[in-house]
Homo-oligomer: A and B are copies of this chain.
Amino acid sequence: MITHAMEDYLKTVYLLQEGQKKVSTSAIAQQMDVSAASVTGMIRKLAAMGLLNYASYHGVELTEGGKKIAQEIIRHHRLLELYLVEIMGFTWDKVHDEADKLEHVISEEFEERMSEALGHPTTDPHGHAIPAKDGALQEVAYETLTKVDAGSSATVQHVNDNDPEMLRYLDQLGILPSTVIQVVSKEPFNGPLRLRIDQTEHFVSREVAGNVFVAAPGKEAN
């Protein structure tokens, strides 16, 4: 039997795995806010179930079976976030925590009816791709706003969704998926960035800018 906790581990590994192949025990522990010892224990169980490959001391990698479960949970999460915003009228800073609880308990029919009500969407309120029912998540190459050169413009692809206060701040600045931002200045070194958003200039800390992801140079938001 697959438990809610197991689903959470698979989801976390899947999201950390993007880009890299192997994911370390400590990366999982940090992301989930549990001890490394707890991660080792759960990893061994998931490996025994054939949901990930595990070489002691050398990290994990999801199997196809593990990926499938992770994608289902991520699909639930992102459909829920969009449903909560579009149909139920939640603000985008509240939906992550609600979806984190609901994603493990909704039925396939609930998932299907949400998808239908939303017209089978492909992106959640924070700009993350919603995996298809069967399928894979086609991720694009991203970089954070801090990497954009002074003078250049970039289009927001997605923002981190796990910090409600951060989301309220970004909303206030007008930073949403598909917003176009010009980096006016990156001076002084490691100081706040000077950004032009919708005709207005703002100073934004590098920490905040690190939560905003834009299309890599030469690529555009779709």
Residue positions of A touching B, CB distance < 8 A: 84, 88-90, 94, 97-98, 101-102, 105-107, 109-110, 113-114, 117
Q: Can you add 4 more A-B contacts, CB < 8 Å, to A88-B114, A88-B117, A90-B109? A: A84-B110, A88-B110, A98-B110, A105-B105
A97: chain B residues within 8 A (beta carbon): 107
Q: In the complex the two chains form, is B113's CB within 8 Å of A90's CB?
A: yes
Residues of B with C-beta under 8 A to A106:
98, 101-102
Shortest Cβ gap from A65 to chain B (Å): 24
For the complex, what is the distance from the CA of A121 to the CA of B146, rounded to whole Å? 50
A102 CA / B89 CA spacing, docked (Å)? 19
Which residues from chain B contact A94 at a C-beta distance below 8 Å?
109
Which residues from chain B contact A88 at a C-beta distance below 8 Å? 110, 113-114, 117
Min CB distance A115 to B, Å, is: 11
Q: Which residue of B is nearest A116, CB measured?
A: B89
Q: Is the CB of A89 within 8 A of B113?
A: yes
User: Which residues of the other chain, B, contact A84 by a CB distance below 8 angstroms?
Assistant: 110
Q: Could you say which residues of chain B place their CB within 8 Å of the CB of A90?
A: 109, 113
- The interface centre, meaning the residue of A88, A113, A117 with most chain B CB atoms within 10 A of its CB, is A88
A121 and B109 alpha carbons, distance in the complex (Å): 24
CA distance A188 to B4 in the complex (A): 52
The list of the 10 closest CB pairs from A to B, nearest first, reads A101-B105, A88-B113, A98-B107, A102-B105, A105-B105, A89-B113, A98-B110, A94-B109, A90-B109, A102-B102
20 contacts between A and B (CB under 8 A): A84-B110, A88-B110, A88-B113, A88-B114, A88-B117, A89-B113, A90-B109, A90-B113, A94-B109, A97-B107, A98-B106, A98-B107, A98-B109, A98-B110, A101-B105, A101-B106, A102-B102, A102-B105, A102-B106, A105-B105
Contacts of A110 in B (CB 8 A): 84, 88, 98
A114–B84 CA distance with the chains assembled, in angstroms: 11
CA gap between A105 and B98 in the complex, in Å: 8
Q: Which residue of B lies closest to A117 (CB)?
A: B88
Chain B residues with Cβ below 8 Å from A114 are 88
A118 to B88, CA, bound (A): 11
